[in-house]
Amino acid sequence: MIKIRSLALAGAMMLAATSFADAKEEIIFGISAATGSLQQQTAAEFVKRANEKLGDKAEVKLFDSSQIGKDKELMQKLKIGTVHLALPSSIMSSVADKFALFDMPFLVADRKHLAQIEEKVFWSEIAPTAEEKGYKVLAVWENGVRHITNNVRPVKTPDDLKGLKIRTPKSTWRVKMFEAWGANPTPMAFSEVFTGLQTGVIDGQENPYTNIASAKLNEVQKYLSKTGHVYTPSYPTMGKAMYDKMDPAIVSVLESVARELEIWARDKGEAADTELKDKLVAGGMSYNEANRAAFVAASKPIYDAFAAEVEGGQALIDAAIALAPGS
């Protein structure tokens, strides 16, 4: 009887071991972006394509809208391995300061210019600084071109920002930018912005149309001012430790799919710009175009600070500007 029981137990253990070995590896992809935003749409497309190629090897599962953490928490979870993929954007300049190149106002002329900066500057000069901090960037996706909304007045020049409490991401350089323009920048997680605007804790915020629309900020904001002050990438990212120990065949799929979605995201973002602006105006927002020259003139101190405070900062600026159309 004991022998029979021992054999049965051994058989059960072997079956469990076989079932575990055959189970798909689960890859958790956590993002803070809201459902419907370009970042969320790109992440969902990534999950669809990656899972088709991964087959029985693994399955990527997406959790958006800060379901499993805001950006700062997700970055910590990447380090310890409880989240396998995240999609940081502006927060990356707080991880590695060279990422703040994309916080320089009016630096990126258009999406073709961004592609040139990625190819000639990003992978050689910026991405390695994330690895030094324990992160592996897989690709450069789009968050979008940022504009300002508020409840006090149209923003035509930096003078119109004076005294306004403007929510920014938790990016040191975005804070410096709005301070230079005379605003009172208030760093805050995006998931808290709607309530902050609704209750008057903040007067306004700055984001791409896709984020403004997906979060329904038109319901709590009166003025939409087209400034186009920053083009913000987003970065599908893994913890370096997880990247190094994951099955190379799985990592290869994740990387290749992430890179193939770069153009998809930019094309989708460009196509949506006019449509979403019109949707926001139809939703009750008052629209104006800001004086770009006035904002550019007020932005020089930010470039000077980046050149002085970030190692190789001036060389990065020069390299990016040299790649602009017509340079």
Q: What is the mean pLDDT of the chain?
A: 93
Across the range 88-117, mean pLDDT stands at 97
Encode pLDDT of 219-237 as tens digits: 999 999 999 999 999 999 9
Q: Please compute the mean of the pLDDT values over residues 56-68 and round it to a whole number.
A: 97
Average of pLDDT values for 157-183? 96
pLDDT at 18 exceeding the cut of 60 = no
pLDDT on residue 2? 42
Count CB neighbours of 18 within 10 A.
10
Beta strands in the chain (DSSP E): 25-30, 58-63, 85-86, 135-137, 141-150, 165-168, 184-187, 204-208, 223-226, 231-234, 237-239, 286-289
Q: Tokens 């984020």 sit at which residue? A: 211
Mean pLDDT of 213-221: 96
Q: Residue 286 — pLDDT band, cuts 50, 70, 90? A: very high
User: For residues 327 and 216, what is the distance between their CA atoms, to the nearest angstrom?
Assistant: 39
- pLDDT for the residue numbered 210: 96
pLDDT at 43 over 50: yes
The phi and psi torsions of 242 (rounded to 5 degrees) equal -65, -40
User: What percent of the chain is predicted at pLDDT more than 70?
Assistant: 93
- pLDDT of 15 above 70: no
How many C-beta atoms surround the C-beta of residue 218 within 10 A?
18
Which has the minimum average pLDDT: 13-22, 82-91, 176-185? 13-22
The Cα–Cα gap between 205 and 224 comes to 10
pTM of the model: 0.91
Q: Which pLDDT tens digit goes with each residue over 173-182?
A: 999 999 999 9
Write down the pLDDT at residue 6: 45
Average pLDDT, integer, range 126-149: 98
- pLDDT tops 90 at residue 5: no
pLDDT on residue 3: 46
| pLDDT tens track for 300-317 | 999 999 999 999 999 999
Cα first-last separation, the chain: 86
- In one-letter notation, the amino acid at residue 191 is S
Instruction: Decide: 95 and 130 in contact? Cβ < 8 Å.
Output: yes
Using an 8 Å Cβ cutoff, are 194 and 262 in contact? no
Closest Cα to residue 43, out of 74, 79, 73?
74
Q: Is the pLDDT of residue 279 over 90?
A: yes
